[in-house]
A and B are shown apart, each in its own frame.
Chain A
Amino acid sequence: MLEFLFKYSAHDYDRGELVFTGDWPTWLIIGLVAVAAIGIAFVLLRRRSDTGPAQLITVGLMQFAVVLIVLAMLQQPALKTEALLPGENTLALVLDSSASMRYGSGASRLETGRDYVADAETRLASLAISIQRFELADTASSVTSFAESQAVGGVTSIADSLLTVLGEARSSSLAAIVLISDGIDTSGGISAEQLGDIASFAVPIHTIAVGRETMPEDLELTQVLIPSTALPGSTVSARVSIRHDAPGATRVKVYDGDELLASDAVQLQPGVTTTSVRIDIEQMAAGHRQLSFSVDALPDERELRNNNRETLVNVAADTHRILYFEGEPRWEYKFLRRAIAGDEEINLISLLSVSPNKFYRQGLESAEQLEDGFPASREELFAYDALIIGSVQAATFTPEQLSIIRDFVSERGGSLLLLAGPNGLGNGGWGQSAIADLLPARLPPSATNTFVRKKATPALTPQGADLQMLRLANTAADNRSSWDGLPDVADYQQTGRLKPAATTLLTVSTDAGPVPLLITQPFGRGHTYILATGGTWRWQMSLPVEDQRHETFWRQFLRALVASAPATVSVSADTGASTLKLRAEFRDKAFDPVTDLNVSAAVSHEAGESQLVELAPSPAEPGVYLAEIDSATPGTWYVEAVANRDGEPFGIARASTYADPGQAEYFNIRANAGLLQRLSDATGGQHLDPDDIGALTELVRYSDAGIKTAVYRPIWDAPILFLLLLALKSGEWLLRRRWRSI
């Protein structure tokens, strides 16, 4: 409507300059305005006896406005803009030909895109502009026609493709790019940096979206989050996200080859587009386990390939060390050791102060280990993955040892667990210690006795129920029952106020109501925990010997403590769209980054293909070495990174990953118009509905890029001016009739 009234779009007015093309001199116009004003005033003043001054002024102003508008129209106003010089410019037509363009109800997205292209070419023919055609997938390729285009591209990288187009067409005065796509980018999206690179060419990109943004008939297994490594026999929790555009029900299944490992029903919630569920896979067997996750299809679902995802979990036997420092002989110590005794993956090395002058050591790996008591150096303490401190006064430790404990959590990434006791937590002065800020609670001062030797009932919090380490049964309901059926703990201890980052996983009922029993918070690279009891041993002594809940609790809890602790040497391999990104990290025994290594990696595919890759030091992360290789071959890739210093071996790390680059196009099949809109906005282009393809002609004609010439677009004949004249004269007439005067 506005465009009709003003003859041109607001965009045109923004870019254009208002000029008068008439050749009347300025003095003449001023003179005419003055004569008109005097004439109107003279005529009206002659009739001043018939009417009041307000009415005279109103009519006079309306007549004067009419004169001004007429004079302006006679001076021939125009919009001065720059238009493409015919025959001198190029337009790039880019059609997405990635595999996702094969979708569509009836016609495929590619066929629809072809129709749009044909329509656009027809309309653009009047511009005398040269057209270059490109297909878009992982990169752009020039084509003479889209007739033979096939939607086969395994990966879509819109940014890389556009940069290719901009690079190739740069020498031919590129005026604009018209991109027809479903907006699905399987390379990880367009980063702000890439968007900036594209915008720096100053070539407007006009986009037209094809495909539907909602597909109620389709389920998509969007994401599977699962640890890349696990200990043999452990239970691994996976977080599965399902994309859906309608409520319903399905079932998640996990297979290892033909063996069904886990299965769980899922209700797809209304009002949301993604439902996430947790599924536990029990008793993971050792080896590289290629797990296949799937969701059952909806009745009318056509694309089933996005209902499955493959992932690799390296289940390897690896011994983790935990140091347990206990200040007095007590039952919790005994039964904790017994609970973990059968776990070959955890070596619990304990230091028990039996008498004032004697430590008793258990779980030793050598006779010299902990011979001088608690570790006094970073290297010695950092050899452990987790540290448990029992009923011990903080003053037992030297300031240097407390400083090392702080570094153990914040820099080494270890876990610290403090247990309750007569000399533990607040009673032990930990709330005023040098590591008080590491802890998830503001522990009361030591002058207050917070340790209560009274039986109390533990309870699982919702946050705790969501953690695998607190799973005592398979299903959520059974787990809740298992916790509800546990005997009381023998004692508990007040923890004080929790810190903002703390999470309460267990509570215990007391006379004053429930208080935290197990709390945690992250600190630096590691985590800290407080278990505010020394009496879980009652679970073992009060339950039948066949009941394994006490053992299960401690095994899972201690495994969780060590699972997040990084090793001194590590390597990871992440699969990108078509690349394998290697990241190796090397630290010394004190966990200081090692930057002077020569690092190479043997990368081999399960089918036998292998190559040797040199990793380069990361400029941003000391001790980190990076490399990237092509991984177009789907399947399992094994990586062995070897570091040498001055020809001497420093360390070896191994990893594996599953790559399936072609799979990416079967996911995210819903059109992403938002990405195209963002692209147009960043480059000064327009995101068009298919019905508005006709607007392309003018958009391209007056494009900001290309070789241009000035164009004066008359606006004296804009309907708004005639309507104004009509409104003014009609208004004057109506007023005169109303006043019955003048």
Chain B
Amino acid sequence: MNYRLFPRLMLLSLIIMVSQATAQVDGREVPMQAEFHFARLAFGVNGREFTGYRGEPWLRDWPDAEFHFLQGLRRMTRVNADGEFRQVSLVNDALFDYPVIYAVKVGYWYLSDQEIERLREYLLRGGFLIVDDFHGPNEWAQFVFSMRKVFPGKAIVDIPNEHEIFHVLYDLDDRQQIPGRNSIYSGVTWEHPLGVPEYWRGIYDDDGRIMVAINFNMDLGDAWEHADDAFYPEPMTALAYRIGINYLIYAMTH
């Protein structure tokens, strides 16, 4: 190898990667195949703006979580759901073709002013955001920091048991903390020493409808992902399915 060429090749590769990432951010739109597409929200993390669909915390549990959840959804409901799954960022106009989006690791997310603006617009138009897999006070603080910018005047509140979102298909009065697989291996139900108890929280719109469903100190995505893992407790997987389905049905009816 000509070692004099190495720095130039590295620079060229970097330029190609950056240009591809930028192109994906701007124009990613895939034709609709079904009424519902599992759309995972892509975002920047740790103070960096979103630059492209590369592996980041937001992709945690992908693709098995989507794969298993969609099979359950299609088997147990009449939702016309596509077997494929999508990723979408807040800066992509295709965002508005997915009235429900799923986001994980929001304790690390970093939303630019543009993304803040578009998330607010998305939710007010009728979009629905499910956030999952974030734990402990620091991650909560980071999530809240962004959401305060999205909705400065709106409170994040605990969703009461009797709320329709817990009864729209399944009656989910008895819920428990659903942790990631590693926590199960460790014999605990939390992923962070301060990640107890679990919280089912939400942000409501002016008409009293939930527009953001928040699973704090929980990891439903892991429960879906490991639905075929004999070690992962079946009751937790079943509950995760039911909660996810209830969220979706609620989002499709309210």
Contacts and interface: CB of A to CB of B under 8 A. Distances in A.
Question: Do the two chains bind?
Answer: yes
B99 A537 contact: yes
**By CB atoms of chain B within 10 A, which of A491, A537, A541 has the most?**
A541
Contacts of A337: 253-254
Contacts of A453: 31-34
B4 interface: no
A449 B164 CA distance: 36
Given A334-B251, A352-B253, A360-B168, A329 B79 contact: yes
A141 B252 CA distance: 75
Nearest to B82: A453
A422 interface: yes
Interface in B100-137: 121, 124-127
B125 A354 contact: no
B97, B124, B126, B251 interface centre (most CB from chain A within 10 Å):
B126
B169 interface: yes
Of listed A329, A354, A358, A490, residue having the most chain B CB within 10 A: A329
A333 B252 CA distance: 7
A327 B78 contact: yes
A329 B80 CA distance: 8
Nearest to B98: A541
B65 interface: no
A341 B35 CA distance: 23
A114 B40 CA distance: 92
Contacts of B249: 329, 354, 360
A334 B79 contact: no
A331 interface: yes
Contacts of A251: none
A334 B127 CA distance: 11
Residue among A330, A455, A544 with the most chain B CB within 10 A?
A: A330
A541 B78 contact: no
Interface string B24-36: 0000000111110
Given A333-B252, A355-B169, A360-B169, A540 B126 contact: yes
A335 B126 CA distance: 8
B78 A353 contact: yes
Contacts of A471: none
A538 interface: yes
Contacts of A362: 253
Interface in A345-377: 352-356, 358, 360, 362
Contact of B78 (A334, A354, A543): A354
B13 to A, nearest CB: 37
Given A330-B80, A422-B80, A490-B32, A545 B253 contact: no
Nearest to A330: B35
Contact of B253 (A360, A537, A542, A544): A360
A608 to B, nearest CB: 46
A462 B124 CA distance: 34
Contacts of B20: none
A338 interface: yes
B253 A334 contact: yes
Contacts of B252: 329-331, 333-334
A331 B96 contact: no
A255 B33 CA distance: 53
A334 B34 contact: no
A328 B169 contact: no
Nearest to A332: B35
Contacts of B251: 334
Most chain A CB inside 10 Å of its own CB: which residue of B33, B78, B168, B251:
B78
Contacts of A543: 125
A537 B98 CA distance: 11
A454 interface: yes
B96 A542 contact: yes
Interface in A137-183: none
Contacts of A360: 168-169, 249, 253
B99 A331 contact: yes
Contact of A355 (B76, B80, B126): B76
B207 interface: yes
A434 to B, nearest CB: 24
A451 to B, nearest CB: 10
Contacts of B169: 354-355, 358, 360
Contacts of A354: 77-78, 168-169, 249
Contacts of A544: 121, 125
B79 A545 contact: no
A453 B35 CA distance: 9
Given A341-B207, A545-B125, A331 B35 contact: yes
Given A329-B78, A334-B254, A355-B76, A545 B168 contact: no
B105 to A, nearest CB: 25
Contacts of B124: 545
A593 to B, nearest CB: 39
B170 to A, nearest CB: 10
A355 B253 contact: no
B76 A329 contact: no
Contact of A545 (B76, B97, B121, B254): B121
Nearest to A534: B35
Given A354-B169, A540-B125, A333 B253 contact: yes
A490 B99 CA distance: 12
Interface in A300-319: none
Find the residue from A327, A333, A360, A537 having the highest chain B CB count within 10 A. A360
B206 to A, nearest CB: 11
A576 to B, nearest CB: 49
Contacts of A542: 96
Contacts of A490: 32, 97
A334 B96 contact: no
A329 B77 contact: yes
Given A354-B77, A360-B169, A541 B253 contact: no
Nearest to A538: B97
Nearest to B254: A334
A544 B120 CA distance: 11
Contacts of B99: 331, 334, 537, 541
- A354, A356, A454 interface centre (most CB from chain B within 10 Å): A354
A245 B138 CA distance: 83
Nearest to B167: A360
A541 B96 contact: yes
Contacts of A491: 32
A540 B207 CA distance: 16
A545 B251 CA distance: 18
A619 B31 CA distance: 63
A328 B79 contact: yes
Contact of A356 (B78, B168, B248): B78
A502 B125 CA distance: 34
Nearest to A542: B96
Interface string B218-254: 0000000000000000000000000000001101111
Contacts of B254: 334, 337-338
B127 to A, nearest CB: 7
B35 A328 contact: yes
A568 B178 CA distance: 55
Interface in B153-173: 168-169
Contacts of B207: 341
Contacts of B127: 541
A331 B81 CA distance: 12
B34 to A, nearest CB: 7
Nearest to A353: B78
A550 to B, nearest CB: 9
20 contacts: A328-B35, A329-B78, A329-B252, A330-B35, A333-B252, A334-B252, A334-B254, A337-B253, A341-B207, A355-B76, A453-B31, A455-B32, A537-B99, A541-B97, A541-B99, A541-B125, A542-B96, A544-B121, A545-B121, A545-B125
Interface of A: 327-331, 333-335, 337-338, 341, 352-356, 358, 360, 362, 422, 453-455, 490-491, 537-538, 540-545
Given A337-B253, A453-B31, 4 more contacts: A329-B35, A490-B32, A541-B97, A545-B121
Closest 3 interchain pairs by CB?
A329-B252, A328-B78, A545-B124
